[in-house]
Amino acid sequence: MAGGRCGPQLTALLAAWVAAVAATAGPEQAALPAEQSWVQPMTASNWTLVMEGEWMLKFYAPWCPSCQQTDSEWETFAKNGEMLQISVGKVDVIQEPGLSGRFFVTTLPAFFHAKDGIFRRYRGPGIFEDLQNYILEKKWQSVEPLTGWKSPASLTMSGMAGLFSISGKIWHLHNYFTVTLGIPAWCSYVFFVIATLVFGLFMGLVLVVISECFYVPLPRHLSERSEQNGRSEEAHRAEQLQDAEEEKDDSNEEENKDSLVDDEEEKEDLGDEDEAEEEEEEDNLAAGVDEERSEANDQGPPGEDSVTREEVEPEEAEEGVSEKPCPADTEVVEDSLRQRKSQHADKGL
């Protein structure tokens, strides 16, 4: 009886153990397809693999609906990678912000083609047939490659990758403060502002120390020579400025002298012309006086009575002539001459 009772119990235990083994083996078998994915995840540590051979990369985010729609097509394309002689990879921009900055990804999903270190942007749909034709027909040859500073391997994009990685770390830290610890958002912002100021001051101090370490002071005799040369140059410049000012002053003085000489010559010419006019007027007046005297002598011809009178009274006639006043015409002429002289003198002044 005891043996009969133990038999069913052993069989029940064996059945339970088989069920437990099946239950544990089920999830493992379900996870096998995911583990056998032909798409290679790319990170900051292994992204340099794309510099050799031919690759196709996909940048995605887990929350992106468009990225989720192209997952199955991308897996199919990766399975046929051996036939197409191409490697297929993917980059999670949430986990690898540095790689998204290196390739300067601004839209999702983003596809890139790489051939021996030369990168091109694939802008077609993420469908298996289009991707396959892009490789088989070599349509990538008609696409302009990313060269210069846009190339992911350039120094510029390496710096961009560093900035994106820092921003990703700051974002994760902000989420840790606000979500995990429950700190208000403004407190997190204040913390980052203070940290930025402190970091900037620290980096400035480091730069000053580095410059002091690598700075080699000049010997004294060289520094003295440089100072003397600087002083001599300043003195030479000052002398040049003084010479230029003196030349300007001399030229101004010469111009003033020339103008004064010209004015004096003009005045002298005017004075000579006035004197010539005055002499002509005096000559004309003198000629007029002589004509008047000759006319007066012609009107009274000398007769016998006059001759006798002149002979009898010569002394009286001479006294009468000496006592007679100047005629009015001569006085008028003299007055006009004086007025003109005074006018010419006023003009000369």
pLDDT at 278: 66
Asked if the structure places residue 224 within a domain, the reply is no
Quote the CA–CA distance of 43 and 121 in Å, as a whole number: 19
Residue ranges in the chain modelled with pLDDT below 70: 1-35, 216-224, 263, 266-279, 281-282, 285-334, 340-341, 343-349
Asked if the structure places residue 294 within a domain, the reply is no
Domains contained in the chain, number:
2
pLDDT digits (tens, 9 = 90+) for 120-134: 999 988 888 999 999
pLDDT at 347: 56
What is the b/e burial string over 145-169, where b = at least 16 CB atoms within 10 angstroms of the residue's CB?
Answer: bbeeeebbeeeebeebbeebbeebe
Given phi > 0 = left and psi -120 to 50 = alpha, else beta, which region is 251?
alpha
pLDDT at 91: 93
Residues labelled catalytic: 64, 67
H/E stretch holding 113: strand 110-115
Asked if the structure places residue 129 within a domain, the reply is yes
Asked if the structure places residue 221 within a domain, the reply is no
Question: Could you tell me if 45 and 107 lie in one domain?
Answer: yes
Quote the CA–CA distance of 164 and 159 in Å, as a whole number: 9
pLDDT at 75: 92
Which amino acid, 161?
A
Question: Could you tell me if 193 and 118 lie in one domain?
Answer: no
Closest to 108 (Cα-Cα) out of 76, 145, 160, 67:
67
pTM of the model: 0.48
C-alpha distance from residue 151 to each of 11, 51, 148, 154 (Å): 68, 11, 6, 5
Of 175, 193, 214, the residue at which a domain comes to its end is 214
pLDDT at 177: 86
pLDDT at 236: 82
φ and ψ of 78, to 5 deg = -70, -35
Question: Could you tell me if 45 and 143 lie in one domain?
Answer: yes
pLDDT at 125: 86
Quote the CA–CA distance of 73 and 76 in Å, as a whole number: 5
Report the CATH number that the domain containing residue 89 is assigned in CATH. Answer: 3.40.30.10
Q: What range defines the domain where residue 73 resides?
A: 40-148
